[in-house]
Structure 1
């Protein structure tokens, strides 16, 4: 007996909140960009961000 191919494909929804691989990866990448920007700013200013001369 041959079964017919399904006509509808279920759509996978991403969760609206909570831990999800996509959001965790995005958060990590943005944190790395922020850290690099902070290092570049400290290099450009010549001192730490919290230690004003």
Structure 2
């Protein structure tokens, strides 16, 4: 079994630019091996930008 890393992006983390560059289109989402994995539909990133 190989070790993998995951990054969690959520509405309160304030890293929308980083999330977008990782391919995330809504949050909450994990990025695992460079691919977004959506936990459940929360909010589109476009709605979170001021």
TM-score bracket for this pair, using the shorter chain length = under 0.3
Higher alpha-carbon Rg: 1
Q: Which structure has more strand as a fraction of its residues?
A: 2
- Could you tell me the TM-score, scaled by structure 2's length? 0.21
Q: Which structure has more helix as a fraction of its residues?
A: 1
- Could you tell me the TM-score, scaled by structure 1's length? 0.20
